[in-house]
Amino acid sequence: MHKEAKPNGALRKKLGFGLFRPKPRPPRKIAFEVYVNKVLVCTAGLDEFEFVTASLSSFVNQDRGPDERRLYFTVGGKKDKKMYKWVHFKMRKGHRVEIRIVDAKKTDEPKESGCSGGKCTV
């Protein structure tokens, strides 16, 4: 009979044998780093399985005509029935919005929160 080969110390560590255990990584928090006119206005992110959005909206009030176009930029989120808002800006032609998707250790607290559809479950 032949002996079974045993991995040496370095290989044992690489394969995960013995006392060596890789440190668990903290969960990643994907966030939006949001700049308006080159100024950082917020780093918006919620925990895993939650919803965060950044939207730029343009609409015309039909009663006032096309010169009354309104532009808004909003960063918000939702978990269950709880709604969050980091920023809401009235925009103009020439304004610039930049959104970087980042792994964030820390994010900004939302400036507003509320509920949709009745009572909050959180």
What is the tens place of the pLDDT at every residue in 21-49? 666 666 668 899 999 999 999 999 877 66
Please give the average per-residue pLDDT across 80-105, as a whole number. 91
The tokens describing 28, both together, are: 């990643």
Q: 83: domain range? A: 25-115
- What percentage of the chain reaches a pLDDT higher than 90? 34
7 is a domain residue:
no
41 is a domain residue:
yes
pLDDT of residue 54: 94
pTM of structure: 0.67
Residue 69 · residue 88 · CB < 8 Å: no
39 is a domain residue:
yes
103 is a domain residue:
yes
pLDDT of residue 28: 67
Domain count of the fold of the chain: 1
d(CA 21, CA 70): 56
Residue 79 · residue 122 · CB < 8 Å: yes
Residue 53 · residue 77 · CB < 8 Å: yes
User: What is the identity of the amino acid at 6?
Assistant: K
